[in-house]
Structure 1
């Protein structure tokens, strides 16, 4: 059965979390038992030096050991300390080899690239990861809203939602049954706005988005799926 609009909202949150599944690429590389629990982030081999360990602990909900382990894996994949968009797309597309994840990865990259410099720093990665894995329900929904709000003007338009929906179908359409029709993304956008655009002004605000999502069991279940990944 083709997913309806709200189911796609739920699955989008989950898809966003797929980026945290970097275990295949070494990001969850654990600390070995003979490594000192007090060792600091190793900064000498990277061109971009991340913020200090204490500062990242204050900005995230990760422990010192978790940050050290995450950093080692990040440095393994990205020796420069930065991930550009093309590298991000290459890594992300490996999760969806039978679809085209390029456009969705572009939107997801922009959600992580908080300072809009065209690259994801370790700080960007780990702060976003902390929200997705350990943040409150509201924080996770705010992050999802930021993903949908492509031009970052504080509201979601039908055009933005259609772009996101289309990118999801490009990436996952082959896994739906019956096969996706060309007008399916547009129909789902209409359903989305019927439920979320409460004052019928043609845009969805963050308050409308969060309030509607919190009343949807599928969405709220989806944002809890990866809480114990680390």
Structure 2
């Protein structure tokens, strides 16, 4: 993590909030789409960007930020002072903060899907625990998609954009639902939504 003194810089926090809000205007997948842009710029697959590449990515995605402010953000994340930043860390910092209650129910949903308990979601897991949900999908009902295609679509929608590998880690699952969470104001409603979606038991009071 970058230096605590920099994290506490009020202007840096304000800029992160502004960028987060701009990304979320593009919907639940806004932050994932930004990560895709950065991955395309990262031609050497180092997961690091120089200032010019960060600037290019921002402009490509359509984010508006003053050059002085962007330099301040870059410096805050350039913890090694090597004129490069970890863009995945940068994107992660833009994720809306999650309450303890939301984190708990997201973890419960992941655990419910992880049929073989290996910490990674794969098609095999979804076949075991999510097939009944897949058969309710409109494209399965219409005959346009097979059950396998529905499950693959669900997996791909959560997988890391720009770098799909057919599996979803707990971190990727959490990042996806951080985006969903940003569209739901109330903790109780988010909790109920997740429990209904994944057939989780009611929350104990």
Fold equivalence (TM over 0.5): no
The structure with the greater share of residues assigned to helix is 2
